[in-house]
Amino acid sequence: MTFKTSRALLAAAFLGASSLFAQAADFMPESPECIAPANPGGGWDFTCRQVGKTLQDLGLIDKTMQVVNLAGGGGGVAYAEVVNKRNDSNDLIVAASSATSTRLAQGAYPGNTMEQVRWVASVGADYGVIAVAANSPINTLPELLEQMKTDPASIAVAGGSAVGGWDHLKVLIAANAYGIDDVRKVKYIAFDGGGEAVTQLLAGSVQAFTGDISEAKGFVDSGDIKVLAVLSPDRLPGEFSKFGTAKEQGVDAIGANWRGFYAPGGMSDEAYNAWVAKIGELYASDAWKQTMEANGLAPLDLTGEDFQKFVGESVAQIQQISREIGIIK
């Protein structure tokens, strides 16, 4: 290949990339919408609302993002809605997380696979927590797990994902790390979102809660719940540093919940590239850095093809974990 030909190809590639960025910059959703696949108050709802507000504050969208709560099936109702009825919408993004890849890994969205949608970008990682009501006599994670081990029926744990979903897996990972050999004895009750799960905890219907730090924070601030452990390798920075990790209590359990978005599989390339660019610009902003710090989100910056690859690897990893603890065969 001659230098002249190489230079021509490089120029064509540059012009193609420039054209792509120009298309992305030119696209503006007419009626921006974000589906939160759970009831208000949980992590998906938080993701839609915080990102929607910040996108508008930064001028990346020129209209208010409509947030639609579409609960059911651990995100399956929303996934089916997008795949079957909203496949060509250019204005729509959907909040997703490790719970989404978990359900996909376990085949819990019948007939649906991760390839049926387009994976847009991540906006951070949200470490898991295990908590109890503020007035609970249980004060440490080992205390809770020991009671689960000796009297399984006495502890019911609420979470915002379906049975076998990410919230469920987090408490099973902790139980397994503690030495509870048959984690199927752990009593887990699924609700449509972390907000509803905490409501049931406060009502006394369950004895513990498994969720993410972002959805637990408001209830901690109000004095309604106490966090027994954060499922992070080390203590989180800032105001979250007061919460001990499972590891420092002798329970080697880590659970990081990525947060991000997928879009309809039939979305145009122009719209998809624009959403990827917009979420990327949001992530790089000082405003989003402040949101992450205020809500305990850890860094995770993936867009477009890199995010697609990450989700694929996440699905494969969760399939392996699910087999090891008996969720799937």
CATH of the domain at 148: 3.40.190.10
Contacts of 62 (CB under 8 A, 6+ apart): 28, 56
Residues 127-186 pLDDT 10s: 999 999 999 999 999 999 999 999 999 999 999 988 888 899 999 989 989 999 888 889
Phi/psi at 237 (5° precision): -80, 175
Are 147 and 230 members of one domain? yes
Neighbouring-strand partners of residue 66:
33
pLDDT, residue 197, reads 93
**What is the rounded distance in angstroms from the CA atom of residue 75 to the CA atom of residue 44?**
9
Are 134 and 111 members of one domain? no
**What is the rounded distance in angstroms from the CA atom of residue 38 to the CA atom of residue 35?**
9
Q: Determine the Cα angle at 239 with ends 210 and 131, to 5°.
A: 20
**What is the rounded distance in angstroms from the CA atom of residue 190 to the CA atom of residue 158?**
6
In the structure encoding, which two tokens stand for residue 162, read together?
């379906």
Are 69 and 168 members of one domain? no
Give the domain range for residue 184: 127-255
Identity of residue 94: V
Are 302 and 289 members of one domain? yes
Whether 103 is in a domain gets the answer: yes
Q: Please give the helix or strand (H or E) that residue 209 lies within, else none.
A: strand 208-212
Whether 4 is in a domain gets the answer: no
Are 40 and 121 members of one domain? yes
In the predicted model, is pLDDT for residue 224 greater than 80? yes
Residues 156, 157, 158, 163: what is their CA dihedral angle, to the nearest 10 degrees? -100
Q: Place 24 in a pLDDT band, splitting at 50, 70 and 90.
A: low
**What is the rounded distance in angstroms from the CA atom of residue 306 to the CA atom of residue 279?**
14
Are 86 and 185 members of one domain? no
Are 217 and 157 members of one domain? yes
Check: pTM over 0.85? Answer yes or no: no
Question: If you count DSSP H runs as helices and E runs as strands, how many of each does the chain have, helices first?
Answer: 11, 10
- Tokens 């879009």 -> residue: 263
Between the alpha carbon of residue 72 and those of residues 31, 48, 79, 258, the distances in Å are 24, 17, 10, 20
- Tokens 């009593």 -> residue: 187
Q: Which of 218, 236, 255 is the last residue of a domain?
A: 255
**What is the rounded distance in angstroms from the CA atom of residue 16 to the CA atom of residue 4?**
18
Whether 283 is in a domain gets the answer: yes
Are 199 and 219 members of one domain? yes
Whether 139 is in a domain gets the answer: yes
Give the count of domains, the chain. Answer: 2
In the predicted model, is pLDDT for residue 68 greater than 80? yes
Are 266 and 242 members of one domain? no
In the predicted model, is pLDDT for residue 112 greater than 60? yes
Phi/psi at 210 (5° precision): -120, 125
Are 137 and 248 members of one domain? yes
pLDDT, residue 3, reads 32
In the structure encoding, which two tokens stand for residue 36, read together?
């939160």
Tell me what the pLDDT averaged over the chain comes to: 89
Whether 52 is in a domain gets the answer: yes
- Residue 44 maps to which CATH number? 3.40.190.150
Are 41 and 161 members of one domain? no
Q: Are 186 and 148 in contact (CB under 8 A)?
A: yes
Whether 226 is in a domain gets the answer: yes
In the structure encoding, which two tokens stand for residue 106, read together?
């376990």
In the predicted model, is pLDDT for residue 8 greater than 60? no
More confident residue, 268 or 298: 268
Q: Which of 227, 255, 283 is the last residue of a domain?
A: 255
pLDDT, residue 15, reads 45
Are 119 and 265 members of one domain? yes
Whether 1 is in a domain gets the answer: no
Whether 2 is in a domain gets the answer: no
Q: Which of 211, 229, 255 is the last residue of a domain?
A: 255
Which segments within the chain are labelled E, that is strand? 33-36, 66-69, 92-97, 117-133, 156-159, 187-190, 208-212, 225-230, 256-264, 297-298
